[in-house]
A = this chain, B = another copy of it.
Amino acid sequence: MSIRFILVAPRHPGNIGAAARAMKTMGADDLWLVAPAHFPHAEATALASGADDLLGRARVVATLAEAVADCNFVVGTSARLRTEYYWPGLTPREAAPRLLAAAEEGTAAVVFGTERTGLTNAEFERCNALIHIPANPAYESLNLSQAVQIVAYELRCAAQPDVPRPRRLVPLAPAAELDRLSAHLDQVLTAVGFTDRAGGPHLLKRFERIFGRAELDQHEVNMLRGLLAAVLADRRPPGDGR
């Protein structure tokens, strides 16, 4: 992901480090710093954890104008809901695909303002659009690195719509296997005389619904059928008069 992350006038070096870490977890690695109060700094390196390579490559410039000079699409961020702007307001989710599309043709950037006060109007003037991070109106105090995390996360989701997900070690059982399980269970229910008052398939259906919701894998079906077979084998044979 080649989106540029620009931090304007970060005051606390720890926030720079935490932002670098947040970026790297989501695969972003192009960090620019506009007039940071302290950089490089041991606290930035400490908070970056394993993302100190991003700090080593970070570009430090004096003005936002320099940081966006080669950018074709620039989005400012705000956690506060501002009404007085003339920029299109986007959610992080809406902004992500637009940033990625712009990055295919050039360089796209997301700009984060200084910690307490955010971007100034003059800084917003450099932006094509505004990301408003939805926040609790009663407490909009997103930490700088948390705002970076949310935007980077949305960019990763947009860049990789097919996120990897855990695969089962054992595949889910196909429906035919579940049918065999159900028939086997029906046999047991009848054999042991466990039926509901109305009779009929009602009780069996309820078991089947449980199996369905449980998303049984093949090993589990095998295990359940093993139990059913054991129950049947354990019964006294019919006609055994003991």
| Residues of the B chain whose Cβ atoms lie less than 8 Å from the Cβ of A164 | 81, 132, 134, 137
A149 is contacted by which of B130, B134, B146, B157 (Cβ under 8 Å)?
A: B146
Q: Which of A133-173 contact B (CB under 8 A)?
A: 133-143, 145-146, 149-150, 153, 156-157, 160, 163-170
Q: Are A25 and B217 in contact (CB under 8 A)?
A: no
Is A24's beta carbon under 8 Å from chain B? yes
Is A12's beta carbon under 8 Å from chain B? no
| Residues of the B chain whose Cβ atoms lie less than 8 Å from the Cβ of A174 | none
Closest to A146 in B: B149
Q: How far is the CB of A94 from chain B (nearest CB, A)?
A: 9
Q: Are B163 and A91 in contact (CB under 8 A)?
A: yes
Q: Are B25 and A82 in contact (CB under 8 A)?
A: no
| Residues of the B chain whose Cβ atoms lie less than 8 Å from the Cβ of A86 | 168-170, 217
Q: Are B136 and A26 in contact (CB under 8 A)?
A: yes
**How many angstroms from the CA of A134 to the CA of B164 in the assembled complex?**
7
Q: Among A133, A134, A143, A168, find the residue whose CB has the most chain B CB atoms closer than 10 A.
A: A134
Known: A50-B141, A91-B165. 12 other contacts (CB 8 A): A22-B143, A24-B139, A83-B169, A86-B169, A89-B166, A91-B163, A93-B157, A132-B163, A132-B165, A134-B153, A137-B164, A153-B153
